[in-house]
Amino acid sequence: MAKDEVLKLLATQDSFALRLRAGDLLSADGDTAGASAHYKRAIELFPYFTGQGNAYDSLAKILEQKGDVAGAADTLEALIKVDENNYEAMRTLSRLRLAQGDKARALEALRQSFFVAPFDYGLHTRAGELSVELKDNAQALAEFQVTLALQPPNIAEANFNVASAFYSLGRQPEAKKSVLRALEAAPRYERAQELLLKIVGQ
C-alpha cells in the first residue's frame, strides 16, 4: 500500500501491520520523527514481532542516527527481552553501551550473546579486553582461555592475551609459559617479546 492510503487507514484502524508499514514508508521518505512514532506504537501493539524488518531494529537505527545512543540501546534491550536469541541485537547493544562509555553493560550484553554463540572466539576476546579495561583480570583470564581453547586463527595473539592476564594476576610462571607459546607461533611478535623481557627481568 502507498503512504497516503496507509495513513488514511490509520485514521480508523490502529493496527500493528499498518503502524509498521507507515514507519517503513515515512522512514524511506526521510521523516524520521514520524517513522519513530509509528514504530513505537507498533511495538506497543505487538511487542513479540522480532523477525526481519521488526520495529525495534528500525527504531534503534533511527535513534542512533539522530545521536540518541541511549535510546537506541534501550530499544535493543527491550528487543532482547522478548527475543533472547537475537545475537545481532546483543552485539549491537554491546557496541552502543560502549559508545555511551558504559563498559560494564557492554560486557553484560556480550556475555548474553555467549548463550547464543558460545563458540565465537571473537566475542570472548572482546569480553576479555573489556574485563581488562574494567580491571577484572581474573575474568579477563577466563575469557582469554576460552578464546585459546576455541583455536582462533591468530594463536600467537590468543596466547599473548592469556600471558598478559596471568602477568596482571602476578602468576609469572604461567605467564612465561604462555608468552613462550606466543613466540613459538610468531617469533617476531614484539608485544610478546616485551612481555617476556618484563617477566624475565623480575
44-70 pLDDT per residue, tens: 999 999 999 999 999 999 999 999 999
Give the rounded percent of residues in the chain with a pLDDT score beyond 70.
Answer: 100
pLDDT at res. 22: 95
pLDDT in tens, 89-128: 999 999 999 999 999 999 999 999 999 999 999 999 999 9
Residue 129 CA to residue 171 CA, distance in Å, equals 19
pLDDT at res. 39: 98
Our CA angle for 88, 136, 142, nearest 5°, is 65
Q: Mean pLDDT across the chain, nearest whole number?
A: 96
pLDDT at res. 8: 82
Lowest mean pLDDT among 1-15, 31-45, 48-62: 1-15
pLDDT at res. 7: 83
Residue 125 CA to residue 104 CA, distance in Å, equals 15
pTM: 0.86
| Confidence class for position 37, pLDDT limits 50, 70, 90 | very high
CATH superfamily entry for domain 119-202: Tetratricopeptide repeat domain (1.25.40.10)
Q: How many residues does the chain have?
A: 202
Domain ranges of the chain: 119-202
pLDDT at res. 202: 63
